[in-house]
Amino acid sequence: MQTLTITRPDDWHLHLRDGAALKAVLPHTVRQFARAIVMPNLKPPVRTVADAAAYRDRILAAVPPGQSFEPLMTLYLTDNTSPDEIIAAKNSQFVKAVKYYPAGATTNSDLGVTDIRKCDRVFEAMQQVDLPLLLHGEVTDHGVDMFDREKVFIEQHLIPLQQRFPNLRVVLEHITTSDAVQYVESASHIAATITPQHLLFNRNSLFQGGLRPHFYCLPILKREEHRSALLQAATSGNPKFFLGTDSAPHPRNSKENSCGCAGCYSALHAMELYTEAFERANALDKLEAFASFYGSDFYQLPRNSEQVTLTKTTWRVPDTVPFPESELVPLWAGQDMAWQMT
């Protein structure tokens, strides 16, 4: 196969930042994706419908001339989010979900939820108006091993949450373990996004020849057995699993220091990365549904009508791409890839 033509995909988990950083990275996403679920963890975070409307306007203003892109907005859940804000979000038509970050779990999550049960009134309102909940599914207890935090979150928080609110639609984002795969497969009203780094790499990539900060993300890369389970889920044809890059732009000097930021930058070449993973699994025939159908179906949005084409050709991921006051190092920088979106 020398070319692969599929329905234009969507990115169901994306970090765009703001200001000059937004303008630098947005063209990479627009080149590939028609829509994206935009994360709300700015400083300050996007906590209200008014915040989301203003951020949406800034994103649309940054779309390159002559190109189209629809940002799908989210609200940042806090201990103080009100049910009234949930109703307003649903009525807005442009806020598509609410994002849960455990306080301190990842980048700009300091204002996140301190105790998930404090939000039960909000979850009840979300269940009533059918607004999805997006979960960063890790516990923050320092007594829990870093590589077990997703598994423990499912056991201690997600299972009880779904028992309390059985009709709440949930996305367990950027899953990293076979435990998450098994739970999503077995539970109702839940789906999961999977990143390119968790399909292509295991935790060895963090330490090959030294510490490799550009493979460091949260949730962290796991053992090979978990990567294999994720790849099997992504290529299975199960509509509960769909594309979400979690592409997170951090300047090089914030990644390569004594306390490097968590996040992989994949927006530059996301579809090429996913195509590489699916080809390795001999499952290119399953890529279109994973990238272009299952996410829009879960979010109850129409599928895109345009198409994109990937061509079998060797090219090299650049070592860096421009970024305000610094540069970005894309995921798998300097490596040859076998597919290119044209």
Distance CA 115, CA 123 (A): 13
Tell me if residue 140 falls in helix, strand or coil.
coil
Amino acid at residue number 173: E
Estimate to the nearest angstrom the gap between the alpha carbon of 317 and the chain centroid. Answer: 21
Tell me if residue 262 falls in helix, strand or coil.
coil
DSSP code at position 74: E
DSSP per-residue string spanning 143-210:
TS-GGGHHHHHIIIIIHHHHHH-TT--EEE-S--SHHHHHHHHHSSSEEEEE-HHHHH--GGGGTTTS
Can 246 be counted among the known catalytic residues?
yes
Host H or E run for residue 38: strand 35-38
Describe the chain by its helix, strand, coil percentages, rounded to 5. Answer: 40, 20, 40
Q: Which of 246, 285, 319, 336 is catalytic?
A: 246
CB 308 within 8 A of CB 6: yes
Long-range residue pairs from 100-103, CB within 8 A, at least 24 positions apart, any chain: 100/133, 100/134, 100/135, 100/136, 101/41, 101/76, 101/77, 101/136, 102/136, 102/138, 102/139, 102/140, 102/153, 103/140
Distance CA 46, CA 25 (A): 19
Amino acid at residue number 257: N
DSSP code at position 290: I
Residues marked as catalytic: 246
